Structure 1
Amino acid sequence: MIDSLNLQPIAVVRSAFKEKFGIPRQPGLANSIISTIELLPEFASAEAVRGLEQASHIWLIFVFSECVDKGWSPLVRPPRLGGNKKLGVFATRSPFRPNPVGLSPVKLEAVRVEGNKVFLDVRGADLLDGTPILDIKPYLPYSDVIEDAEFAVADKIEKLDLPVVFSPEAKTVCELYEQNSGSSLTEQICDILSCDPRPAYKKNDSERVYGVKLHNFDIRWQITNDQIYVESIVSTGT
């Protein structure tokens, strides 16, 4: 029996998500956002990723790095249940676990070998910028898809069916970003806010203005009964 393991990260995530708040709670919910997995120097060889480009999707095994020193409890309150009901930690995807390890299936957009560096561009990752990656595996459609799988607690995707309305100032920032980057900041913000990042116990407060960081922007927004309103988008300069 192995009493302990010493696991070494093989890569790090370069992500638009600069803080935990606002990150979709599951992968694949913000598919407009592309993240990059950068292999660390010891593992960054073209040989190590040979053939991976044939996979449409990959598994990322990672460390909940922000939770390493936070401890764990056998019972947790899943946000999906409104934060009022408890489930066993092993019946949830809570990051506060005995071993703070997670896994996410993501769409592989590109494998890039640039000199002595190796990058994987992925779509739909729910990972904080700087997250350590422990392993990368190809997604196997014939075995990783279980057609009759069930889990009554979370049996469907939950997203808000509300229009996202941008203030004129916020809309201008989005237009400038798209001109300079070629990607849609509008779509990325819509993806994130439709996942409703608000804590469960605050969802009845339609007056509260929230902030979420994405790329180098501080985005201020609120959710009412009939819309998601993006009030401002301000560059943080970092």
Structure 2
Amino acid sequence: MQAIELEPIGLIHSGYKEKFGIPRQPGLVHSVRSTLELLPPYGSREAVSGLEMASHIWLLFLFSECVGKGWKPRVRPPRLGGNQRLGVFATRSPFRPNPIGLSPVRLDAIRFDGDRVLLDISGADLLDQTPVLDIKPYLPYSDRIDDATFALAEQIELLDLPVIFAPAAERRCDDYGHRLGEPLRRQIEELLRCDPRPAYQKQQHDREYGIRLHDLNIRWRIDAERIEVLSITPAED
């Protein structure tokens, strides 16, 4: 069969600057908003005419950091602690024969800035500069499947723990949130309750971690009783 060549129709602009810390699935963190910028010749008013009627859209995208890195027929899903192998098609691993992802996101607004067409979205799980291959409206009557099941992932796994900010981190959070115009505290709380830690480290309560959000480095740790934000500092590129 002849090879198929695809061209991105747009790029994601997101506060997620590195892979670690991004929610493992879409729809888990709603406070972090992203923007999809459509590229020429696809960024036209005509191409998005009528899309404003959709509250949610599907994004078909490329796992660009995985291109050329190969794939294996069996992988170790993080949700299973890295100890159990499943067929790649039974997982959402980005290392696939064709490294393509699919995410439903909320469409908050469509903006026109000169010749640029910008789609503001929330609930995305996409790295900054992710290439988007296609957009489709989410159709509730057909896309929602109420009796759908998957035995290994029946429910969302979120930490039911308080998020405590160290005094200096709390001051920085307020200052940086105001500068960025972002609900930074809520974003950090939602992200950390998703527990970005590798599954095999979740019982190691003395470990300290860092995630990159916007242009900030967030240092934190988790124990059995709480999630503690230790520091918030400018990220070093």
TM-score normalised to structure 1 length? 0.97
SS in 2 for 1:149: coil
2:210 paired residue number: 211
Are the aligned partners of 1:174 and 1:184 in contact in 2 as well (CA < 8 Å)? no
Q: Distance in 2 between matches of 1:180 and 1:196?
A: 26
2:195 paired residue number: 196
Give how far 1:50 is off.
Answer: 0.5
Residues 20-29 or 66-75, more deviating: 66-75
Percent of pairs identical after alignment? 61
Are the aligned partners of 1:59 and 1:139 in contact in 2 as well (CA < 8 Å)? yes
Q: Distance in 1 between matches of 2:13 and 2:115?
A: 18
Give how far 1:183 is off.
Answer: 2.6
SS in 2 for 1:204: coil
Give how far 1:171 is off.
Answer: 0.6
2:48 paired residue number: 49
Q: Distance in 1 between matches of 2:44 and 2:179?
A: 32
2:63 paired residue number: 64
Q: Distance in 2 between matches of 1:3 and 1:163?
A: 54
Per-residue Cα deviation, 1:140-188 (whole angstroms, up to 9, x for no partner): 0110001111111111111111111101111111111333344310100
TM-score normalised to structure 2 length? 0.97
1:120 paired residue number: 119
SS in 1 for 2:26: coil
Q: Distance in 2 between matches of 1:127 and 1:236?
A: 19
Q: Distance in 2 between matches of 1:233 and 1:216?
A: 10
Q: Distance in 1 between matches of 2:236 and 2:54?
A: 36
Are the aligned partners of 1:177 and 1:184 in contact in 2 as well (CA < 8 Å)? no
1:152 paired residue number: 151
Alignment: residue pair count: 237
SS in 2 for 1:222: strand
1:110 paired residue number: 109
Letter aligned with residue 119 of structure 2? L
Q: Distance in 2 between matches of 1:19 and 1:181?
A: 18
Are the aligned partners of 1:77 and 1:87 in contact in 2 as well (CA < 8 Å)? yes
1:225 paired residue number: 224
Q: Distance in 2 between matches of 1:33 and 1:113?
A: 21
1:21 paired residue number: 20
Give how far 1:233 is off.
Answer: 0.4
Q: Distance in 2 between matches of 1:41 and 1:218?
A: 34
1:143 paired residue number: 142
Give how far 1:237 is off.
Answer: 6.7
Q: Distance in 1 between matches of 2:200 and 2:180?
A: 37
Letter aligned with residue 6 of structure 2? L
Structure 2 residue 32 is the aligned partner of structure 1 residue 33: yes
Structure 2: runs of 5+ lacking an equivalent: none
Q: Distance in 2 between matches of 1:237 and 1:46?
A: 38
2:73 paired residue number: 74
Letter aligned with residue 74 of structure 2? L
Give how far 1:11 is off.
Answer: 0.2
Give how far 1:3 is off.
Answer: 2.9
Are the aligned partners of 1:37 and 1:120 in contact in 2 as well (CA < 8 Å)? yes
